[in-house]
Structure 1
């Protein structure tokens, strides 16, 4: 059964590979291994992004700004606020809590991708903008009464510059084998690390090891204590770096040789 699921997941990803070839986008390594030199570049979100590179800026809570070399701007778990009047080309949202979405996204935003459907069916998002491909894997969330809400969250995956970048949203359960197969390897992953409202730390760490991520970017942390507990749990298998900045430039060439947790400081754009 697991083999069949993995084969089905691989077939489902084939359009992404074909699309990459047709658009000129460097194919990502979501379903392959990645290596690289332990070199990470820091820059301002206003600077041009170098070729074959992606810039990630930690804005606030679960919102990251993702920028590409040709000038695309994408905001994750978008709440309607970034700190400046920047209109992203794409926003993704989840609605487990109001801090992960807005009910009134700016109408100037070309592509708004909610991670849920109002009728409870699984969201199916697949947006190929040439330089970047965005897709999702729906997951189940808990409700406030202790019950389950099927497909209430989406893990969004961004494929650009040969990288596979994941944002786990408001993840409540470890992915199933089928979901792991659909997600693939995540070179870079943005993870909620509060350990209570979202996935508990032992389960989250197990998932991150399964993703074989080179870079883990914490988000959704409520104070230094919560963050430090997560870092302590990761210390056995991941290095930790805290460069003291909010932005990070990543390329296939600059992925660290050892899996690394990089703590970016949340800061509104300015």
Structure 2
């Protein structure tokens, strides 16, 4: 499995049977101010919620299946589980709903939290079961900040944590730097990778390891 960072909260996941893009953003969103990379192809696109910085399907090539709603799906021998959550701490009253997606392929489970706005309930933790790789917002502003993100990591206990929704130097949106998340987690920041290439047998860490990925241009 190969994972690449496309910017903001968007990742491309390549498996042996298909390619997934999570939460592509719209290049024309003035609030975000980022350009979605060209030439991104997918078989499946997951969308956590219908805001312009997370639902830019138009930028993804390949006529992909679009998954937005909670439920169970199987596409290209990949299992998807959509879990209902909220974009805020007031059960969606401020910013609406958010769908968490758990993706299972090649014996690896990847969880993309979208714009989760709260710590998880016990039912949500049970639905997620065992997560190998967690993609989690950490920069605050409409979603989890570093402290809340650390609480969620401790709830889920993944093997690998990939931060998203933080200030990467290009976004116009006011977000916190990823360093604050490292501080809350008590981890030393390591050099970012261009992509994460991983197989099931690699997942042996007992404590969550943070993996930072360079944005694809």
Deviation for aligned residue 1:240: 4.5
Matched residue count: 200
| 24, 29, 39: which one aligns with 1:78 | 24
Residue 42 of structure 2 contacts residue 60 of structure 2 at CA under 8 Å; is this kept in 1? no
Which has a greater percent of helix? 1
Is the counterpart of residue 64 in structure 1 residue 11 in structure 2? yes
- TM superposition score normalised by structure 1: 0.66
Q: 1:149 to 1:79 in 2, by over 3 A?
A: closer
TM-score by length of 2: 0.81
Q: 5 Å matches for 1:103-182?
A: 104=58, 108-114=62-68, 123-142=69-88, 147-148=93-94, 152-182=97-127
Q: Does 1:251 align with 2:203?
A: no
Trace 1:179-198 onto structure 2 (pairs within 5 A).
179-198=124-143
Quickly say closer, same or farther: Cα 1:194–1:104, change in 2 above 3 A.
same
Task: Confirm or deny: 8 A CA contact 2:87 2:116 kept in the other structure.
Answer: yes
Distance between the aligned counterparts of 1:139 and 1:250, measured in 2? 28
1:142-193 Cα shifts (integer Å, max 9, x gaps): 39xx93455x111111101111110010010111111111111211001111
Cα separation, 2, equivalents of 1:175 and 1:98 = 24
2-structure distance, mates of 1:196, 1:149: 12
Matched residue, 2:31: none
| Structure with bigger gyration radius | 1
SS across alignment from 1:169: coil
The structure 2 residue matched to 1:218, chosen from 157, 160, 163, is: 163
Name 1:263's counterpart in structure 2.
212
Cα contact 1:153–1:169 (8 A) shared by 2: yes
State the Cα distance separating 1:223 from its structure 2 match.
4.0
* Deviates further, 57-66 or 175-184: 175-184
Segments of 5+ residues of structure 1 without an aligned counterpart are: 1-53, 115-122
Quote how far apart the aligned CAs of 1:261 are.
0.5
Mapped contact 1:59–1:246 kept (Cα < 8 A): no
Compute the displacement of 1:75 (Å).
Answer: 0.2
Distance change >3 Å, CA 103–CA 130, structure 1 → 2: closer
Residue 228 of structure 1 pairs with residue 187 of structure 2: no
Asked if structure 2 preserves the Cα contact closer than 8 Å seen for 1:96 and 1:170, the reply is no
Contact kept in structure 1, 2:88 and 2:142, CA below 8 Å: no
Cα separation, partners in 2 of 1:111 and 1:254, compared to 1, 3 Å: same
More divergent stretch after superposition (79-88 vs 207-216):
79-88
